[in-house]
C-alpha cells in the first residue's frame, strides 16, 4: 500500500548495485505474490489444515519481519526484490488467508460482503498513516534503519492481531471440515471465469499509481516530497469508506444491485479518474493530482469489496444447479486472479515507462514519460467492469428468445 514512498526514495538516493528501474516491480510483485499464493493457501486451510491456521499466521509474521530486517543490509537491487517483494509477501499471505477464512465462516449467511468490506478498509487505514511514518524514517535515518523499524512494527502488530482473531465457529469446526472433498463444480460456469478475467484486468492497473504516483508528483509535477507523500495518503483514505460502501451495495440489503453492476461502477469511475485527472495534470498543479488520488482511491480501492457480492451470486448459481460450493475456496481463487493482475501490471510498468517520451516538465501527464502508464491504468481499470457487458448480452439474448422462440426464428 505504501511502497511508492520507498520507490521515490530509491529514485532520489540510489546507492545500490544494479538497475534502479528494477525497483519499480517490487511493490506490484509483493502484492502479486500475496494474492497468487492465496488459492493454494485457502484450499489448504479451509478444510485439511484448518486446525493449523493460527500457527501458520505466526510463522508468516516471523518470516515477514525477518525478511524486512535482512532487507536493511541489501547491497544489490535483487536483494531488495527478494526481501521486500517476494519473501515478506508470502509471509503476509500466511497471515491474511487464515484470518479471512475465519471471517467468511462467522458471516456465512448475512452481511458477508459488508464484513469483507470493513476488513479491507483497514488496509486503507494503514495506507493512510504509514506514508508519513515511512517518510519520517527515510528522511531522518535512511532506508536501512527504516526497514529495521518496520520489521519491529510488523512483529508487534502482527502477533497482537493474530491472537485477537477469533477461532472458527464451533459448529463449522465440527461439520465443515469433516468432509474432505472439495467442490469444484463452479469452475464449469461462465460466471466465475468472467469475473476472474475482470479482476485480472482491473488489478493490473490498480498497482500502477501506488508505485509511481509519488515519483510522478516529485519529478514531473515538481511537488515537494512531503506533498507527494500526502498524495499517497489521499489515495488510501477514500478506500476506508469505499470498501464498506461497495460491500453494502454488494449485499443487496435495500437495493437489488447485481454484482456485475457494482463492479462496473467501480471500474468505469476509476478509469474516468485516470483519464481525466492524472492524464490532464500539469506541472505545479497539486489540486488535480489530489482529485485524482481521492477519486481513483475511492472507486478503484473499493473494487475488491465487490467480491462478497460475486460470491453471493456464485452461491445462488450453485444452488440453482443443486451443487455444493466452498465460499472460502472461491474467495481464494478471486484473490489469485488479483495476484496475476498485480504481477502483470508490475512487469508491464517498466517497459511502459521506457516507452514514454523523454521526461518533460511541461504539458499534460499524457505528454510525459508516464503517459503510457496513465493510459494503461485507465484502460485496464475500464475493462475491470466488462462483466456488466456480458450480463447485458445474456439479458438481450434471453429477451430475444422469449420474443422469438426457436421455431419462429427459423421460419
Band the pLDDT of 276: cuts 50, 70, 90. Answer: very high
At residue 396, does pLDDT exceed 60?
A: no
pLDDT of residue 58: 95
Higher pLDDT, 405 or 45: 45
Confidence of residue 153 (pLDDT cuts 50, 70, 90): very high
**Does the pLDDT value for residue 74 go beyond 50?**
yes
Q: Is 235 in contact with 213 (CB distance < 8 Å)?
A: yes
> Residue 177 has what pLDDT?
47
Mean pLDDT of 160-174: 68
The residue whose grid cell reads 503517459 is 371
Q: What is the pTM of this model?
A: 0.75
Cα–Cα distances (Å) from 96 to 45, 128, 276, 302, in that order, read 11, 19, 35, 18
Mean pLDDT of all residues in 267-275:
94
The count of other CB atoms within 10 Å of the CB of residue 297 is 29
Percent of the chain at pLDDT above 90? 27
pLDDT tens-digit series, residues 1-36: 788 788 888 888 888 888 888 888 888 788 888 888
pLDDT at 409: 45
List the one residue out of 343, 368, 44, 335 whose CA is nearest residue 180: 44
- The lowest-confidence range among 153-157, 254-258, 272-276 is 254-258
Residue 82 and residue 77: Cα distance in Å, rounded?
A: 9
Retrieve residue 94's grid coordinates. 500466511
| 384 in Cβ contact with 267 (< 8 Å) | yes
Per DSSP, the three-state class of 14 is: coil
Q: Does the pLDDT of residue 339 top 80, yes or no?
A: yes
- The pLDDT tens digits of the residues spanning 209-253 come to 888 888 888 888 887 877 877 888 888 888 888 888 888 887 766
pLDDT at res. 91? 94
How confident is the model over 122-147, as pLDDT tens digits?
Answer: 888 888 888 888 989 998 999 899 99
pLDDT at position 171 over 50: no
Give the model's pLDDT for residue 163.
86
**More confident position, 228 or 206:** 206
User: pLDDT tens digits, residue range 94-111?
Assistant: 998 888 888 877 877 677
Treating both helix axes as pointing N-terminal to C-terminal, what angle do 259-273 and 286-301 enclose, rounded to 10 degrees?
160
The pLDDT tens digits of the residues spanning 353-371 come to 877 666 566 678 888 888 8
Residue scoring higher pLDDT (74 or 257):
74
Average pLDDT score, the chain:
83
The candidate with the shortest Cα–Cα distance to 246, out of 232, 264, 228, is 264
User: In the predicted model, what is the mean pLDDT of residues 376-400?
Assistant: 75
* 3-state SS class at 17: strand
Average pLDDT over residues 160-170: 76
Pick 316 or 402 by higher pLDDT: 316
The better pLDDT of the pair 271, 283 is held by 271
- CA proximity to 366, closest of 276, 234, 271: 276
**pLDDT of 261 over the 70 cut:** yes
C-alpha distances out from residue 358 to 204, 277, 355, 405, Å: 24, 21, 9, 60
* pLDDT: which is higher, 58 or 302: 58
More confident residue, 327 or 405: 327
Nearest to 27 by CA among 218, 212, 298: 212
For 163, list phi and psi in degrees, rounded to 5: -80, -10
Residue 404, pLDDT above cutoff 60: no
Mean pLDDT of 52-79: 93
Q: In this predicted structure, what is the pLDDT of residue 392?
A: 65
- What 3-state class would DSSP assign to 76? strand
Distances (CA, A) of 289 to 39, 148, 280, 331, 357: 36, 32, 9, 33, 21
Please give the average per-residue pLDDT across 265-291, as a whole number: 91
Amino acid at each position: 500500500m505504501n511502497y511508492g514512498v520507498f520507490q521515490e526514495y530509491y529514485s532520489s538516493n540510489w546507492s545500490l548495485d544494479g538497475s534502479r528501474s528494477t525497483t519499480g516491480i517490487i511493490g506490484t510483485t509483493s502484492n502479486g505474490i500475496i494474492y497468487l499464493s492465496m488459492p493454494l493457501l485457502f484450499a489448504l486451510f479451509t478444510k485439511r489444515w484448518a486446525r493449523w491456521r493460527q500457527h501458520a499466521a505466526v510463522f508468516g509474521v516471523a518470516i515477514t519481519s525477518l525478511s524486512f530486517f535482512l532487507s536493511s543490509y541489501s547491497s544489490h537491487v535483487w536483494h531488495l526484490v527478494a526481501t521486500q517483494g517476494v519473501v515478506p509477501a508470502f509471509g503476509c499471505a500466511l497471515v491474511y488467508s487464515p484470518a479471512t477464512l475465519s471471517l467468511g465462516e462467522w458471516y456465512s449467511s448475512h452481511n458477508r460482503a459488508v464484513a469483507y468490506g470493513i476488513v479491507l478498509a483497514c488496509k486503507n487505514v494503514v495506507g493512510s498513516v504509514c506514508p508519513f511514518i515511512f517518510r519520517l524514517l527515510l528522511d531522518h535515518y535512511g532506508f536501512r534503519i527504516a526497514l529495521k523499524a518496520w520489521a519491529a512494527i510488523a512483529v508487534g502488530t502482527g502477533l497482537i492481531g493474530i491472537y485477537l482473531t477469533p477461532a472458527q465457529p464451533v459448529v463449522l469446526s465440527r461439520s465443515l471440515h469433516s468432509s474432505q472433498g472439495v467442490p469444484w463444480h463452479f469452475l464449469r460456469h461462465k460466471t466465475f471465469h468472467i469475473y476472474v478475467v475482470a479482476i485480472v484486468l482491473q488489478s493490473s492497473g490498480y498497482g500502477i499509481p501506488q508505485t509511481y504516483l509519488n515519483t510522478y508528483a516529485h519529478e514531473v509535477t515538481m511537488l515537494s516530497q512531503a506533498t507527494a507523500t500526502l498524495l499517497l495518503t489521499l489515495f488510501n483514505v477514500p478506500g476506508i469508506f469505499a470498501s464498506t460502501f461497495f460491500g453494502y451495495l454488494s449485499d443487496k440489503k435495500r437495493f437489488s444491485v447485481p454484482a456485475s453492476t457494482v463492479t462496473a461502477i467501480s471500474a468505469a469511475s476509476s478509469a474516468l479518474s485516470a483519464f481525466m485527472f492524472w492524464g490532464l495534470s500539469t506541472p505545479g498543479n497539486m489540486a488535480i493530482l489530489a482529485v485524482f488520488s481521492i477519486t481513483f482511491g475511492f472507486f478503484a480501492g473499493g473494487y475488491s469489496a465487490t467480491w462478497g457480492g460475486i460470491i453471493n451470486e456464485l452461491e445462488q448459481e450453485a444452488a440453482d444447479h443443486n451443487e455444493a460450493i466452498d465460499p472460502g475456496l472461491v474467495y481464494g481463487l478471486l484473490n489469485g486472479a488479483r495476484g496475476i493482475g498485480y504481477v502483470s501490471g508490475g512487469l508491464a510498468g517498466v517497459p511502459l515507462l521506457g516507452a514514454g517520451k523523454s521526461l518533460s516538465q511541461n504539458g499534460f501527464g499524457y505528454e510525459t514519460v508516464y503517459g503510457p502508464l496513465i493510459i494503461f491504468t485507465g484502460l485496464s481499470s475500464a475493462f475491470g467492469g466488462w462483466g456488466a457487458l456480458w450480463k447485458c448480452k445474456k439479458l438481450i439474448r434471453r429477451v430475444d428468445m422469449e420474443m422469438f422462440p426457436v421455431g419462429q426464428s427459423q421460419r
